[in-house]
Amino acid sequence: MELWITLSIAAAAFQTLRFMLQKHLSMGALSAGGATLARFFYSVPFIVALALGYLALGGAGVPEYTPMFWLYAVVGGLTQILATWCVVALFAERNFAVGITFKKTEVVQTAVVGLVILGDRVSLLAVGAIMLGLVGVLLLSDTPGLQGRWWRRFGSRATVLGLASGAFFAVSAVGYRGATLEIASDDPLLRAALALCVVTVLQTIGLSLWLLWREPGQLGRVIAARRTAVWMGLTGMAGSLCWFTAFTLENAALVFAVGQVEVIFSLFAAVLFFGERITAREGMGITLVTLSVIAVVAFR
């Protein structure tokens, strides 16, 4: 098995664990913003130690990088914050597995944006896969208690948050891959560790300042929740390092395609840890979206 495939599967597993912890914290101790900050806040010590330690072991010093590195890093970091915030907020609307599946529309959205913005052509099979994904999203967007015509489902809060998270994660992945490619090194782990270190520090500072302004009490609650949140930071760091390293080795769309196993992991988490039940309609929607994102990459 190629290294990037192993890393993608590991990243999906770590990310599922991290979202489980974020859901737990967002259901009581922290707001959506606080739970999002905790993910970055408690990752910083691990990531900085890893990057500095790896540099010290290598003894070669910090490699050169282009000015574009900062643009990619800032865009990737900002969109990841927005994406994570959307996912945490989504957990209050729908169950865990459905929330993760909404997020997984990131692959489909990447194909659509590439066609509209860059003129990237896709095959008829890929168009069919995108339509299959839209059907799956329609099934998932049938929020309980929402009355009216079927198209109103796309305007529900759960659907908007889910699709927005997928779009932000798609932009974030491209930004992170671009940032790692702007570092002049042949070592994929070094490039991933340095990019991840810079991005996470910037995210922590920026989001902390935002919450101090908009939600003054949340920073204190993030610190108070350290016994649980520190594990979120550790799993977040491990998952991000796997994603970043995989992005240095392979196209982000292919990495995301393998990462669709996260949907399966989330199903186990929803049933075994949160005691949630997946309805037949939601199960069908999850299946269609999963098949869609895999097919888009396979037939693009």
59: exposed, middle or buried (Cβ count in 10 Å: 0-12, 13-18, 19+): exposed
At residue 278, the pLDDT reads: 72
At residue 47, the pLDDT reads: 93
At residue 124, the pLDDT reads: 77
* Residues with Cβ within 8 Å of residue 171, at least 6 apart in sequence: 75, 76, 79
Q: pTM value?
A: 0.78
Measured CA to CA, the distance from residue 15 to residue 265 in angstroms comes to 10
190-226 residue pLDDT tens: 999 999 999 999 999 999 999 999 888 888 988 888 8
282-297 residue pLDDT tens: 778 778 777 877 776 6
| Sites in the chain below the pLDDT cut of 50 | 118, 146, 150
- Token pair, residue 294, equals 């895999």
Measured CA to CA, the distance from residue 122 to residue 300 in angstroms comes to 5
- Side chain identity, residue 98: V
